[in-house]
Structure 1
Amino acid sequence: MLIRLRAIGSAIAASLILLAQPAIASTAEDTVDVPHLIAAYHAAVVSHDGARLTALFVPTGSAWFSVLSEEGLARARAKSPATTKIRPGSLKAFAKLVATSNSAFDPRHTDLRIASDGAVATVTFKFEFLIDGKVQNRGAESWQLIKGDDGWRIVSIVFSSTPPAI
């Protein structure tokens, strides 16, 4: 099933509802369906809740990769010619950043699409990642999800990266 949601779609509306709730949402509530999982991810990042963010992923074996866009790669290589296009990351590193940063984070998602057969799902969207109100990265992102006995979990995140010109 393919669901296409516009910029202010169900997941964004759900995230606004979740943001109005206390930060003590349970993992069971966060992972009941894909839109809740997306909203919980956003709420965890905005509220600097690294533990909540981590609970949205499979406990082991997750993948996290970014690939610089041609524009981003050209700018990066102008400063450092050895810059690699494909960059592995990790949930652990991102969750630590989320939990320890004093900056205001706001991951914005548009053109959201969810494809699922009820057991696995792919979520794709365009994103802008704002830090202290300024866009620090933008691109396209894809999540792979699986549904276990305890709800939906993120298995992998892959995204293109176009940091702003400085």
Structure 2
Amino acid sequence: MKRFTSGLVFALAILIGTASFAQTALPAEGNKVVPANTASDTVDVQHVIDAYHEAVLNHDGSRLASLFIPHGSMWLNVLSDEAYARAKAKSPDAQKIRVGSFTDFAKIVSTSKASFNPTHTHLQQNSDGTIASVYFDFIFLVDGIEQNRGSETWVLVRGSDGWRIAAITYSSNPHKS
């Protein structure tokens, strides 16, 4: 089971770390199909944070994806120096900064049979009512076992239809396998 979990985490890191996205113009806000619970999920920043956590716990990739601006969202995973050294030892082509996408993560959340639990501590929020930033420490548990830890920051924007995540950047200190 440990080997399966390690393989799952490695696959998760590869999928998230190698995905790329194109920048395109945002569609008119009124022309989107929005899941029924999105209005309550995006009423304020704390609701977005809570909905994100619930979506990951419940393997609800659609709900998770609805919390992001649809085009142009940024997803960056930055390996710690120690994690980068381990990755380089395994693969000389390893990247310290890996660009991913929320759509890849939402797909993993939807299709994985493993239990995910991202825990957040030391939460700090700043907002002027139009833009916001959230910073926290995290531990990402897979089947109850720590697989990664670090710090994470989100940038959120408030459109006419509520708050959405525009960017997630997180440091990555994967559990040594």
* Displacement after TM superposition at 1:111 (Å): 0.5
Structure 1 alignment gaps of length 5 or more: 1-23
SS in 2 for 1:36: helix
Mean CA deviation greater in 24-33 or 91-100: 24-33
* Displacement after TM superposition at 1:81 (Å): 2.2
> Is residue 44 of structure 1 aligned with residue 86 of structure 2?
no
Mean CA deviation greater in 155-164 or 77-86: 77-86
Q: How do 1:17-36 and structure 2 match up within 5 A?
A: 26-36=37-47
Write the distance in 2 (CA, Å) between the matches of 1:103 and 1:30.
24
* Displacement after TM superposition at 1:25 (Å): 6.8
What is the identity, as a one-letter code, of the residue corresponding to 1:59?
A: P
Structure 2 alignment gaps of length 5 or more: 1-34
Write the distance in 1 (CA, Å) between the matches of 2:51 and 2:104.
19
> Is residue 104 of structure 1 aligned with residue 119 of structure 2?
no
Q: TM-score, normalised by structure 2?
A: 0.79
What is the identity, as a one-letter code, of the residue corresponding to 1:129?
A: F
Q: How do 1:31-110 and structure 2 match up within 5 A?
A: 31-110=42-121
What is the identity, as a one-letter code, of the residue corresponding to 1:149?
A: S
Deviations 1:104-125 (A, max 9, x none): 0000001100000000000000
Q: Which residue of 1 aligns with 2:130?
A: 119
Deviations 1:44-95 (A, max 9, x none): 0000000000000011110101110011111111222221100001111100
Work out the number of aligned pairs and report it.
143
SS in 1 for 2:94: coil
The structure with the greater share of residues assigned to strand is 1
Q: Which residue of 2 aligns with 1:17?
A: none
- Pairwise CA RMSD of aligned residues? 1.1
Deviations 1:6-35 (A, max 9, x none): xxxxxxxxxxxxxxxxxx971011011111
What is the identity, as a one-letter code, of the residue corresponding to 1:30?
A: D
